[in-house]
Amino acid sequence: MPQENIALFTIFGGTGDLAKRKLYPSLFRLFRKGDLQEKFAVIGTARREWTNDYYRTIVKETLADLKPTEAELTSFTSHFYYQSHNVTDTEHYVTLEKLADSLDKKYHLQGNRLFYLAMAPNFFGTIIEHLKTENIVTENGFNRLIIEKPFGSDFQSASELNEQIRKVFAEEQIYRIDHYLGKEMVQNISAIRFGNTLFESMWNKDFIDNIQITFAEFLGVEERGGYYDKSGALKDMIQNHILQVVALLAMEPPTIFSETSIREEKVKALKAVRIYSEEEAEKNFTRGQYGPGVLEEQKFLPYRKEKNVAPHSQTETFVAGKFLIDNLRWNDVPFYVRTGKHLTEKGTRINIVFKSVATNIFRDPEEPLEQQKEIPANVLTIYIQPTEGFSLALNGKEIGQGFDLRPVKLDFRHSSETTGNSPEAYEKLILDCLNGDGTNFTHWDEVAQSWRIVDVIRAAWDKKEIDFPNYASGTMGPPSAFELLAQDGFEWVWQPDEWYREKGKLS
């Protein structure tokens, strides 16, 4: 039986998309498993005027996929309360405080409070300030703040936001969500790295040639044009998710796998990521914006024709780049990253490309050494989504006479059965927060350093207009994304079939 967790959740943005798609289903799963039992309550707040009953009906609707029984639904949603709320109106916080206190008494919540900011970032500061001044933050229980990205829009604004929050919450009370850190296979990175001699002992510049991180999306901006056009791929993906993955891959082994030591190591790793000059940023990072294209027989509009996007938008929907990590472990090992919308295929993957064996002893001794066939590199691939698992590309002997090598792929995919039962990222992260475990959240030092790394690239790009669009929907980005690796003598390991086909490499 899991431990019963005791807390009042106050969800700002309780009528919003995130709450409906992720938070309510996650809370329900925790409830079903017994992680939440009787001693919890949820206040949903937002501008709209909803009744408790209507709110509960909406919450129920969000759970349809989980096939709850009527009894489960009634019992679960009886813990839900709605409070209409204007975040700038102090009076409203007074009402909220009263409701919170009464629920605390009713459900014996011991003053434990979890504030979830599931909304646009404009009002984060105001809300947090009022939580303090109106005494919604308690004295007797725990108070924890879960805050969604984006955390600022550059180092400056992030620092200001952080200072505001820190007036009310200590760093260890702040849970900055990066939902990728809740994903099974992102968490598996450390298990694979530190649980296997085969990888642990080779995890450095002596054995690794380069590391490739791809966050490819099949969809375009959809309904998010308004937000996205102000943000772009660099801030939306690289600054947070991708640099978090870089940190997990690059960090030194922690002494023990605890929140503190992992944070320490991740911060150290991010601080070792080279901060480019603007010239270097131009050279090592490249951007793209999708034009029209055809994907699986659907025709797609160019980005600039999407809803709420400026007709001459300079916003990038694609980024590829190379990070360098200036320490003894990673000196000169490129960490290539790329992310984009309307690419060939949806997929988040990490490829660890090991160095090839120093010499091909199976070569033809008659042929000049320079012309010997190089043996393909060993590659460890970690599949984060939609597939979850990992694989290892090795070489074996071609069956038959002689000693020709051929690539062999050893595969481990989580079965759909296990992944079906595996907790969703948000479920895991909310439970972590209830347990006071910040391992899978991002510390301010990480956020700060990530902005410092990314700000220079943004600054360099803002000085120069690009002739967008520069890649067709359904391709893997602009040619510059391939040249980036080619000039170092490498190529992307993961090249979806479609791209190959287009380049005439596949029939």
Applying CB under 8 A, the span of 40-48, 86-94, 223-231, 424-432 interacting with a second copy comes to: 424-432
**Per CB under 8 A, 394 contacts a second copy:** yes
DSSP per residue, 112-181: -EEEEE-S-GGGHHHHHHHHHHTT-S-SSS-EEEEEPSP--SSHHHHHHHHHHHHTTS-GGGEEE--GGG
Q: Name the one range near a second copy by CB under 8 A: 12-20, 324-332, 385-393, 447-455.
A: 385-393
Residue 303 to residue 279: CA distance in whole angstroms? 27
Which residue in 236, 306, 316, 432 binds a second copy (CB under 8 A)? Answer: 432
429 contacts: CB under 8 Å, gap ≥ 6: 146, 175, 177, 179, 181, 182, 440, 441
Q: How far is the CB of 374 from a second copy (least distance, A)?
A: 11
Q: What 3-state class would DSSP assign to 280?
A: helix
Q: Binding residue for a second copy (CB under 8 A) from 19, 250, 431, 448?
A: 431
Binding residue for a second copy, selected from 159, 173, 204, 395, defined by CB under 8 A: 395
What percent helix, strand, coil does the chain show, rounded to 5?
A: 40, 20, 35
User: Of residues 1, 139, 328, 403, which one binds a second copy by CB under 8 A?
Assistant: 403
Phi (first) and psi of residue 501, to 5 degrees: -60, -45
What would the x/- binding string for a second copy be over residues 235 to 274, using CB under 8 A?
------------------xxxxxx----------------
Kindly indicate which of the ranges 12-20, 301-309, 316-324, 428-436 contains the residues binding a second copy, using the contact rule CB under 8 A.
428-436
Determine, following the binding rule CB under 8 A, whether residue 408 of this chain makes contact with a second copy: yes
Using the structure block, give the residue that is written with the tokens 């790793």: 269
Minimum CB distance to a second copy, residue 252 (Å): 11
CB 245 within 8 A of CB 214: no
- Look up residue 388 and give its two tokens: 């979850």
Of 311, 400, 489, 504, the one binding a second copy (CB under 8 A) is: 400
Kindly tell me which residue out of 94, 301, 324, 405 binds a second copy, with binding defined by CB under 8 A. 405
Which of 101, 138, 423, 466 binds a second copy (CB under 8 A)? It is 423
Rounded Cα gap, residues 45 and 116, in angstroms: 10
User: Does 401 contact a second copy by CB under 8 A?
Assistant: yes
Distance in Å, CB of 253 to a second copy, minimum: 6
Tell me the per-residue interface mask from 189 to 218 with a second copy, x by CB under 8 A, - otherwise.
Answer: -xxx-xxxxx-xxx----x-----------
At 323 the three-state DSSP class reads strand
Answer whether the bond into residue 150 is a cis peptide, omega within 30°.
yes
Least Å distance between CB 411 and a second copy?
7
Q: Based on CB atoms, which residue is closest to a second copy, 35 or 455?
A: 35
Please indicate whether residue 241 is annotated as part of the active site: yes
Picking from 204, 123, 132, the residue whose alpha carbon sits closest to that of residue 168 is 132
Which residue, 234 or 434, has its beta carbon nearer to a second copy? 434
Which residue, among 55, 66, 56, 11, has the nearest Cα to 33 in the 3D structure?
66
Contact with a second copy (CB under 8 A) among 275, 392, 456, 466: 392
Which of 460, 180, 501, 502 lies closest to 319, judged by CA?
A: 460
- Nearest-approach distance from CB 73 to a second copy, in angstroms: 25
Strands (E), 190-269: 208-216
Taking the complex as a whole, how short is the minimal distance between the CB of residue 355 and a second copy, in angstroms?
6
Q: Which of residues 165-194 bind a second copy (CB under 8 A)?
A: 184, 187-188, 190-192, 194
* Measured torsion, CA atoms of residues 251, 253, 255, 260, in degrees rounded to the nearest 10: 20
Q: Which is nearer to a second copy, 283 or 363 (CB)?
A: 363
Which of 295, 343, 377, 493 touches a second copy by CB under 8 A? Answer: 377
Amino acid at 203: W
| Whole-number Å distance between alpha carbons of 331 and 323 | 11
Residue 428 contacts residue 437 (beta carbons within 8 Å): no
Tokens of 409: 């792929």
Least CB distance from residue 194 to a second copy, whole Å? 5
Give residue for tokens 């120069």. Answer: 464
Q: Is 32 in the site for a second copy (CB under 8 A)?
A: no
| Of the candidate residues 399, 465, 489, 504, the single one contacting a second copy (CB under 8 A) | 399
How many Å is the maximal CA-CA distance in the chain?
88
**Counting beta carbons within 10 angstroms of the beta carbon of residue 41, is it exposed (0 to 12), middle (13 to 18) or buried (19 or more)?**
buried
Output 276 or 390, the one with its CB closest to a second copy.
390
**Residue 416 interacts with a second copy (CB under 8 A): yes or no:** no
Q: Which is nearer to a second copy, 104 or 184 (CB)?
A: 184
Letter for the amino acid at 67?
K
Catalytic residue among 241, 312, 342, 443: 241
Taking the complex as a whole, the smallest distance from the CB of residue 491 to a second copy amounts, in Å, to 18
Q: Which residues bind a second copy (CB under 8 A)?
A: 184, 187-188, 190-192, 194-198, 200-202, 207, 253-258, 354-357, 361-363, 365, 375, 377-378, 390-392, 394-397, 399-401, 403, 405, 408-412, 414, 418-419, 421-423, 428, 431-432
> What are the catalytic residues?
241
